[in-house]
Amino acid sequence: MTAGPEVRLDTEAVRWVSGQGGVVTLRPSPRHGCCGGTAILPVAEARRPDHPADWLVQTIDGITVYVDPAMAAHPGVLTVRAEGFLRWRRLFVEGTGLNAGY
């Protein structure tokens, strides 16, 4: 991947995603406030994007990571983590420069 945010996967995320097919999709997701305003937050999903042709792709610790092209100008570092217990696990993203470049 030559553009986009620097993506990191923590050890638990790698372990969990490996058991879910070994693919992560990072995409921006708009969140609307009750009184107006919108924040664009990155989300991680353990799946391949529907139309991955134009997505940025990299492999991290054996995991294929697809990054939405809308995030190509993101200047920060995004860390994907797994939280939860057993089958109730989910991925979440934390990072620097969130909302920048979208």
Query: pLDDT tens digits, residue range 41-93?
Result: 889 999 999 999 989 999 999 999 999 998 877 778 899 999 988 778 899 99
CB 77 within 8 A of CB 95: yes
The C-alpha atoms of residue 22 and residue 64 are separated, in whole angstroms, by 6
Domains of the chain: 6-95 (2.60.300.12)
What single-letter amino acid sits at 39? A
At residue 96, the pLDDT reads 67
First and final CA of the chain: distance in angstroms? Answer: 18
Helix/strand/coil (H/E/C) assignment for every residue in 26-90? EEEEEEECECECEEEEEEEECCCCCCHHHCEEEEECCEEEEECHHHCCCCCEEEEEEECCHHHCE
| Greater model confidence, 34 or 12 | 12
CB 68 within 8 A of CB 8: no
pLDDT band at 28 (very low <50, low <70, confident <90, very high): confident
Res 22 pLDDT > 60: yes
| Greater model confidence, 73 or 16 | 16
Res 14 pLDDT > 60: yes
Number of other CB atoms surrounding residue 83 within 10 Å:
12
pLDDT band at 34 (very low <50, low <70, confident <90, very high): confident
Residue written as tokens 């990155």? 42
